[in-house]
Amino acid sequence: MEYVTKSGVDVPKVGVGTWQMETEVAYESVSMALEEGYRHVDTAQLYENERGVGRAIAESDVDRSELFLTTKVNPQNRSVDDIVESARKSVARLDVEQVDLLLIHWPHPLADLPTVIDGLDECVRQDLTRFIGVSNFGVDRLKRAQQLTDTGIFTNQVLFHPWWPQRELLSYCQQEDVILTGYSPLANGGAIDDELLADIGTAYGKSGPQVAIRWATQHENVMTIPMSTSRSHLADNIDIFDFKLTRAEHDQITRPSLLQTGMSMVRGQLGV
């Protein structure tokens, strides 16, 4: 495993995501992931699977202190009190004393950003989370969040894959020491049958999806959270640190495409 270090904490560059997983499926996926060596788990209130994730953690042989656990606040919680209460309920569902990282899931158009950030900061003050962050924020809104917080923005969790490389945002995060957490690194399955990724992987004895995840992790200050309900795929997704893409390969893989990104988003929404 490789790590991103921030605020004195080493966070595994690859975690397990649980989007679109029902409670029992999330329980099984996280249980297998922990057995396979994952120590970074991501969930959210809107996924409605926190109890399953928490049960997997409680029943595993992995000590809680070894895990980096993230959840996200439903953006419908727009007051300080609502954000704090929702975080308290998340901690209870996850059956932990606190989470490591608490994010606002995305910017709500009717939410007051200073209030939202104050709510997240209050969760730190009340020991419900160690760190806070945001998700699906562009550069301008991220800058504003940084100005508003008393405790600092640990990460911005956003879509990040070879067809959506987020160059402007990535550069800003690297300059500001904000971790970029990339979700959907396999472009909702788009990386599975990509010929270029497969061809590059052949030279290393790796699959196309493994190359896509390695592409993500080779960026400075980036971690990623691929999802899978298959033990073999979970194992493959962290078996990527025994090879390194060349600069030329990395540049080849980076292919910004609105079409590919749009198709992947449709696949994600349809669950296919």
Per-residue model confidence as pLDDT tens digits over 111-126? 999 999 999 999 999 9
Average pLDDT over residues 140-151: 98
pLDDT of residue 96: 98
Beta bridge partners of 182: 158, 224
pLDDT of residue 268: 62
| pLDDT at residue 250 is higher than 60 | yes
| pLDDT at residue 32 is higher than 70 | yes
183 part of the active site: no
CA distances, 11 to each of 57, 100, 105, 217, 261 (Å): 17, 10, 20, 12, 27
| pLDDT at residue 41 is higher than 80 | yes
| pLDDT at residue 265 is higher than 90 | no
Q: At what angle do helices 231-238 and 23-36 cross, to 10 degrees?
A: 50
Identified catalytic residue from 3, 27, 38, 47: 47
pLDDT of residue 225: 98
Average pLDDT over residues 175-196: 95
Spatial CA neighbour of 153 closest among 115, 124, 183: 124
| pLDDT at residue 72 is higher than 90 | yes
| pLDDT at residue 29 is higher than 60 | yes
pLDDT of residue 261: 66
pLDDT of residue 267: 63
Q: Using 50, 70 and 90 to split pLDDT, how confident is the model at 269?
A: low
Q: What does the CA dihedral 159, 3, 250, 42 come to, rounded to 10 degrees?
A: -20
DSSP letter string, 23-35: HHHHHHHHHHHHH
Average pLDDT over residues 24-43: 98
| pLDDT at residue 272 is higher than 60 | no
Q: What does the pLDDT look like over 83-99, one tens digit per residue?
A: 999 999 999 999 999 99
| pLDDT at residue 129 is higher than 70 | yes
| pLDDT at residue 160 is higher than 70 | yes
Q: Mean pLDDT of all residues in the chain?
A: 96
